[in-house]
Structure 1
Amino acid sequence: MNAPADWSRTRERSNRFALRFIVWVALRGGRAAARALLWPITAYFLLFGGAARRHSRRFLARVLGRPPTLAEQWTHFHRFAATVLDRVYFLRDRCEGFDLQVDGAESLSHTLAGGQGAFLLGAHVGSFEALATVGRQRSGFEVAMVMYPDNAQLINAALEEIAPDFRMRIIALGQRGTTLAIRDWLDQGGLVGLLADRSLPGSGQRGKTLWLPFLGREAPFSDGPFRLAQVLRRPVFFMAGLYNGGAHYRICLEPLADFSVVPAEPAARDEQVWQAVRAYASRLESVCRESPFNWFNFHDFWQEDAAGLPGDGLPGHAGAARPRAGTD
């Protein structure tokens, strides 16, 4: 059985005409009218989603502890489509009518008060745009996203369609000077955001993959982002912008690890990083159980397709953490 293409090679189901039409309806007709489009969009993904529907079913089965109903899968895709629609308003700074609750801003502000930046590690959970909107509204919460060059081009193209005047700060990974660019941004007191629930096969970066219990089955978590924070000796916060339906979002910011003091011994440095990865996986699992329909990583997270496993999504043997060489 041939392994499916990894997430980095998967084309997104979108086109410029559809995007322009949705933006036009959202801005001219208002959010209530635009949300009517979520019904056919959700139906399309349920009928023709293919791999996305399969991965949604697997995830929901694990987080719910049973096979999901069709209504639950509908809710899953509807929540995803709703957060994509709301990007139009967040990126255009049209936030009136939204309820953005922020938990943990005081702790992050206290960290930034020292004049040094911090890492924000999130996942494909909820809405990053909601979190970025809060950052723009609060003095000192300036976020630069770190991503791979191809993804950066796709994001910039989409932003050009949605908000021509908006310019997201993006630092491309895997290029000469990337680490220096991140360090300089942190030295200015900025925040560096990464989504740490995916790794890019074949990227050639140094790092290891820890296989950790996640929703009843081992899943791979790269230690690359944490090693970067350790090299730059910066604190790490967990971030998530959870969508709670309607116009309600809850922004979660929590201290995850502090690499300001790094052990001299290599083994101790490894253990410091791996403890942080375990803390990230544990917090991500808690968020998923709290808000299961906010999981938008519609890819082969447990690497079941790649291994040729049927992967019915039911909880299996978790096992112990297994650090092993990998790419990030």
Structure 2
Amino acid sequence: MSSPAPPADWARQRERSNLWVLRLMRMIAVHAGRPVARLVLHPIALYFLLANGRARRASRQYLTQVLQRPAGWRDSYRHIHAFAATVLDRVYLLQGRLAQFEFDTRNVPDVEAVLAEGKGVVLMGAHLGSFEALRAAAQGVGTRAAMLMYEDNARLINATLQAIAPQAQLHTIALGRPGAMLALRRWLDEGGMAGLLADRTLPGAASGRSRTRTLPFLGRPAPFSDGPLRLAAMLRQRVFFMAGLYHGGNRYSLRFEPLVDFRAVPPDQLEAAIAAALERYVALLQSMCREAPYNWFNFYDFWQSDADAPAPPSP
């Protein structure tokens, strides 16, 4: 089922970050070290669990679906703590302190084979695990990685990450800005990787010809936009699914799965290829949510079961 993409609830609300808190966390992380900083996560996660009722309800809604049993307070606490842990690890990942972490990788040679041709790849991820782990690992082997997002979000993300790691070299490409498509094409033609998180429906005014399809996800129908795939199709790029799953402690699993190669799709088969790739994306997302259920960081009513209640901003 498809229809024009509606304005997304999450896009109506600006995602806010308390920069002084992030700077405080950076100071604790840098001067006290990771073991001590991780102890601070417990009161932070508990406070968030008690103070943010809407996020708590969304967490329990999602966990009930993915765990296939009623989720309780302990499950939601573990969920929120996992999110806080990945935020803390951004400090170290952005500073290039990769030796503190263990990375398990899958299908990296498939991506490297494309990059070896001198061409870039589009990486479609989700609010699942840590994109920062993927970006840091890519830079660690000399590959350039950029994040695609809309201009307001790009400005906020840059301010947030600069508060965490002022010396970090960050690169974002702000969609919707004049020249953005040219910048993206140049980035990919020069062999860079461009990642975007594709598990939220795009704002209607910015999504162009994209459509929102309702697909089964964790046992219930959920909306997914094909806009990222249409962007890659327009640029004739190869697309991979990406995820940086957090497995507790200092362990991350970096996953890359092929979705579609638009370089080889004839024009008359483009719509079918986009539909098939979106279905594969959702299937991979569902599989990895079940593998690492506490890695899903969409703290709002993803299934839109309460249409009258706007979704809260992502933490």
* TM over 0.5, shorter chain: yes
Q: Give me the identity figure in percent.
A: 52
Which of 123, 126, 129 in structure 1 is aligned with 2:132?
129
2:148 is paired with a residue whose SS is: strand
Name the counterpart of 2:164: 162
CA contact (8 A) 1:125 1:241 kept: yes
CA contact (8 A) 2:122 2:239 kept: yes
Q: Does 1:242 align with 2:209?
A: no
Name the counterpart of 2:274: 273
- 1:13-57 CA distance string (max 9 Å, x none): 642221121111100000011011111111111101222111111
Which of 103, 114, 119 in structure 1 is aligned with 2:117?
114
Name the counterpart of 2:192: 190
Moved over 4 A (4+): none
> For 1:176-325, what aligned pairs fall within 5 Å after superposition?
176-204=178-206, 205-265=208-268, 268-306=269-307
Name the counterpart of 2:84: 81
2:263 is paired with a residue whose SS is: coil
Name the counterpart of 1:29: 32
CA distance in 2, matches of 1:177, 1:303: 34
> For 1:54-93, what aligned pairs fall within 5 Å after superposition?
54-93=57-96
Unaligned 5+ runs, structure 2:
1-7, 311-315
Tell me the CA shift for residue 307 of structure 1.
5.0
Name the counterpart of 1:40: 43
Which of 145, 148, 153 in structure 2 is aligned with 1:146?
148
- 1:222-251 CA distance string (max 9 Å, x none): 111101111111110110000000011110
Counterpart amino acid of 2:284? R
CA contact (8 A) 1:99 1:247 kept: yes
Aligned residues: 303
Q: Does 1:94 align with 2:97?
A: yes
Q: Return closer, same or farther for 1:21/1:184 CA change in 2, 3 Å cut-off.
A: same
Name the counterpart of 1:51: 54
Unaligned 5+ runs, structure 1:
310-328
- 1:258-287 CA distance string (max 9 Å, x none): 11123232xx32111010000100000000
CA distance in 2, matches of 1:108, 1:301: 30
CA contact (8 A) 1:144 1:190 kept: yes
CA distance in 2, matches of 1:86, 1:308: 32
TM-score (norm 2): 0.92
Counterpart amino acid of 1:123? A
Cα-Cα RMSD: 1.7
CA distance in 1, matches of 2:221, 2:72: 24
2:129 is paired with a residue whose SS is: coil
Name the counterpart of 1:318: none
Tell me the CA shift for residue 81 of structure 1.
0.4
1:124 is paired with a residue whose SS is: coil
Counterpart amino acid of 1:270? E
